[in-house]
Structure 1
């Protein structure tokens, strides 16, 4: 690394932005300078980063002058400000869905396709959190036998809908315990005309339904997997479900591989893959759970078992923190890779 980067964090006051700041300290992420950016209403807020106080500034195009790496926490603002930042010479690592399927923008999980980083033209996209968690479990398997089919059901925490999603779950549970009524306003999405109770319930809809009767969230997993693996022959059937869990997503995944694999082969592959951890000891009732993976870096993989009817079929259960590895950590790892390979 020839020089330290000048860094900006857009959305510094939100959940992903605050996770960036925690990770700066945990990973001792080095920078020459740091600028914290947010909306006008958050401008002026004071935040501590690595023992130093910073004042949050309103994000504007000119905010990205003399910035090397711009970490975008996500949201619709990416559409306007990411090109402006790139135009000023910054490399944008964006958590929104805006650029993920743009053929000119690399979609990167550093443990899987770091070579794509070099193809960037100023913007690098962070995948959807559910895609990241799934592929961190599947990449070590794909490396020993190509995966032909994936059937995945996600069990996604309310924090995926932001602070409002968390508040709604807690407020509903509190109201129900007191025998009070509570009118849902957020889930499955605040922008939709109809809302459902999430406390003591599951909602089989995340984002809007598309013409093919899958949701936008589900199709992200299909399209992003094809792009990251550079393999659009994989048959993928997703179902995305919101569950009354605060933090960390879980996924039930069935795969069919090109050749039959033993559970021992799969477990060995997962154990040897950086960023994934094998949590699979059914004799002692040890398996991945959202509570255990919240605020953790690795994606946990367990309940690995052969399918009962398909000789090439494997079933597994996966949990991962969607705010951490599913968002902030993945983006920061991209920045670290660029720094370590003198790409800044």
Structure 2
């Protein structure tokens, strides 16, 4: 039975790929046979058309459907107007989520960019630059979920009592030096910063690599001329390096800002949104999949979309106009 399923799967893959290849070959042949004025348009439609249709079906239609359901009740059967949006902007849990996302955006993004910039500048042309930067970049290979699991063990707290052995790395270090174990993830407000540190650990390497590539694109003649004129390292950094790589810094900042806005994995794995750590994406998840309230979940999703799209648009615009990676 298992062999039959494997054969059927292989047949489906071969049939699907073969059919798609045959379809493209046939349509391309037809497009190439058209007059020259129509040929370029036809070829573009042949190759880009299916991808556009798939994007429309997978992205645009679900977005429109979500927007539609945001005006209905939990079951999607009764029209409630703007009630779900009123909930999104007045509910105490949602207000807490907005506050926490703001913390992630301000402290998480700024810390990643500043550390990435400093590491890129200090490590540039150093003796062990490749090894040093590889170690900083290494956490990028770990998924947000995987990082959450790792750091959950680091922050683990067993509680107060006799003969309790702390398995969390951080509390083990604290108790080894005679201190008391701390419930790092249970203290409201401050626990958000312990979660933000995980994103900093993950994304600093990304910021460092992108900014480092921009620094290496600075003509060496500029730095040499500045040194000849008597400029020190700080002057070169603030007067030459930062202005030259500012487009890259902006792009890195907006990219990490988008990560902060749609953050979900770390909070879900570490705390589930409890103890004052909830974020917008996690509240959407809870409303839809735990409480079954499609209307409120849809409104939250649309609010998050409206916030993210302008930042994403600006990011793409900067990327294309200034070619920050070149």
**Category of TM-score, reference length = shorter chain:** under 0.3
Structure with more strand by fraction:
1
Q: TM-score, normalised by structure 2?
A: 0.25
If asked which structure has higher relative contact order (CA below 8 Å, sep 6+), I would say 2
Larger radius of gyration between Structure 1 and Structure 2: 2
Structure having the higher helix fraction is 2
